[in-house]
Amino acid sequence: MSLPRPSFASQVTRGGQAPRPIVCPFSDGEISHARDKCAHTVQEYCDQMVERWNTEIDMFLVFAGLFSAVLTAFNVQSYALLQQDNSDIIANALIHLSAQLGSSSTNGTSLTTTGLIYAPPPFRTPRYAVWVNALWFSSLICTLSAASVALMVKQWLQQYSLGLSGNSHDIARLRQYRYQSLAKWHADSIIAMLPILLMVSVIMFLAGLIILLWNLDFVVATIATALVSILLLFLSATTLLPAFYPDCFYQSPQALGVFLIKQTLRPLFSFDVKFRNWRARPLFKFTKKDTYRSWHAREKAEVRAKRAHLDRGLATRAYDISLDETLLKTAVIPVMWAVSPECLRPFMEDIERSSNRYEPIMPSILHYMTLAARDPERNRKMVGKLLADAWWPRMEANSEVGELFVRTMAILVSRGLQPDLAFYRVTQTLAYSASDGGTRVKPEVVEQLVSTWPSPNTPGQYSSLIRNQDPKGLPLVFSYLRTYPMLLRYLGRLVVETPHEIERIRLQIDIVLDSLHGFLVHVALTEDLSNLGVILWALRRSDHIAHMVSLKTDASCSPLIPPDILESYQDVLTNIRAVATMDRFEMFFKKNVERLDRIDITDLGDSGPIKLASTLQEDLQALQGDLNVLEKFFWMLPSQLTGTGRRRWPSGQGAVIEGVCDAGIVRSFVQPADQPTF
């Protein structure tokens, strides 16, 4: 006979090893503190529960008292319908006697005692009277029952709260003992039945009232039935909706009963029906996690599932209530960084609806765009709408909002989220940020600013400038050419202190110059007539070369313009002159009328092909004259230039520089000495 194999524990014990001690990881103080914390939590919950129940019962008692008075008045009049009315018997007897007397006088016969006897017909209670009294007296009984139970519950709750003051361990145990007793004997279910009894009483009263009215008058009964139907429809809807919609606000004890019944019956409908090759979906999908015994349990599950949307709503609601810019900066924006990507766009839309001005919410808009770059496709439309709007305020690059703006636009460009609109917004917003030399901007902000400009290292950016339009309908290249001299002047007048900062700024200036060189080389190699027409229009209308001339007259900015820029400009004009002759322009736009839309702007809007070709040729000649003026200034001495440390002009006056070419005076450029033109 084989013996059972000893277990591992018995082998260890037989081996002579002593059992390992079991040590409590908590001290007595920690355990006592834990008990106190549990006792405090239970006490707070129980106190709130008793207070809520007392308030509800007081409300039920008031309603029961008023409703009982109304019912009593109706029952006093209705119970008489259940018995025969003596006045009706007397009236019928008098009518019978009168008829007998009239008959004897007509026939001339004498009345006998037998003929005067009146026997009333047997009394039969009307059916409607039975129903009316049954419903109304039942309603009165239910109302009084609810009031009686409510009084008893008040006494129970008073006894429940007796002697529970304090937080000692004995009091905590007593409170827990009473709470377990309350739950064991279903006191909460009894309290939940009180409003149901009162609701049933109201429904029975209204039903009896409708029955009575239909036996009295048709018009009154019709109106009353319609009003009662509306009320019953509202009560039914508010009772059924919470059972099917977790976020429905109409939660009540009777609705909870419907919800529990629905949960109980749900497994009966969790089956599939097959018809040939078609398989029906189950009416309900029953899972264990969907079973709840109270509204609170279901709400906790819903809050856990929708926590991201609720966090968003909490933050935006706080700002909507206060409209406090400090709260927006210190609370709402940090919450924005914590929400999930799908909640980001609704977050921004809620903030927009809350504020009637865009200036206070500018930081939140910029933070939203930064976060939107994490998921460009989901937020592309919203970011484009914000960038295209005309409400953007003026911002200085050395301010907190200005630095945030530059950083955000740099992120959008680097991640390909509306890069054209981001560049356009930089040219429009920071065009007002120039100063006369007293600005100090962080080098990293300057690097981010320069990174938003087109670079020859990124293919397709120059073509995008020429091909795409800004929100005003103008080519983006117009903003590029108009703002480029402003950016150079801005960089040339920044205040720098250390040699390291100087080198960083010089590097950024070189990057900006490379951007212009790359653009000019791209244009010099372009043969598309419509693109050349757009470039020629933009060069002329933006006064790009004229602004470069004004930069050359400023001593602080003159060294920034290299001599080889003249050759690049000349290559552009030479290419336009060689490719886009007047005849070719005219022939091209006659053949491709739809391409006129690309230059269908400003003063050229109503021009035909012939007029357009002539205007573009005039622009070409004017640009050549401006380029000749710029070439002249490369031969001027530094002492002839204006600017810091050089020749200064009186305040309020301008330095008038006249460019002379072969045809005489081409144009006069007026540039204030103390205030740059941006």
In the predicted structure, residue 678 carries a pLDDT above the cut 80:
no
- Token reading at 425: 């917004």
- Token reading at 600: 């269908």
What sign does the dihedral 287-288-294-299 (CA atoms) show?
negative
pLDDT value for 527: 77
Q: Work out the mean pLDDT of the chain and round it to a whole number.
A: 76
Torsion (CA) 449, 453, 458, 463 in degrees, nearest 10: 160
- Token reading at 670: 């007026």
pLDDT value for 271: 45
CB 662 within 8 Å of CB 624: no
Please tell me the distance from the alpha carbon of residue 283 to that of residue 271, in angstroms, as a whole number. 8
Give the Cβ contact number of residue 610 at 10 Å: 13
pLDDT value for 153: 94
- As to burial, measured by CB atoms within 10 angstroms (0-12 exposed, 13-18 middle, 19+ buried), residue 486 is buried
Q: State the first-to-last Cα distance of the chain, in angstroms, to the nearest integer.
A: 107
In the predicted structure, residue 500 carries a pLDDT above the cut 50:
yes
- Token reading at 611: 């007029």
- Token reading at 378: 């989901």
Please tell me the distance from the alpha carbon of residue 122 to that of residue 587, in angstroms, as a whole number. 114
pLDDT category at 651 given cuts 50, 70, 90 is very low
CB 401 within 8 Å of CB 363: yes
pLDDT category at 553 given cuts 50, 70, 90 is confident
In the predicted structure, residue 546 carries a pLDDT above the cut 70:
yes
Please tell me the distance from the alpha carbon of residue 417 to that of residue 232, in angstroms, as a whole number. 55
pLDDT value for 152: 94
Please tell me the distance from the alpha carbon of residue 294 to that of residue 281, in angstroms, as a whole number. 28
pLDDT value for 91: 64
pLDDT value for 652: 33
CB 51 within 8 Å of CB 160: no
Q: What does each C-alpha distance from 280 to 265, 266, 286, 575 come to in angstroms?
A: 19, 16, 16, 71
Strand partners, 647: 642
What sign does the dihedral 131-134-140-141 (CA atoms) show?
negative
Please tell me the distance from the alpha carbon of residue 523 to that of residue 573, in angstroms, as a whole number. 9
CB 492 within 8 Å of CB 557: yes
Please tell me the distance from the alpha carbon of residue 515 to that of residue 538, in angstroms, as a whole number. 17
Token pair 């103390």: residue: 674
Please tell me the distance from the alpha carbon of residue 673 to that of residue 349, in angstroms, as a whole number. 46
Please tell me the distance from the alpha carbon of residue 451 to that of residue 325, in angstroms, as a whole number. 30
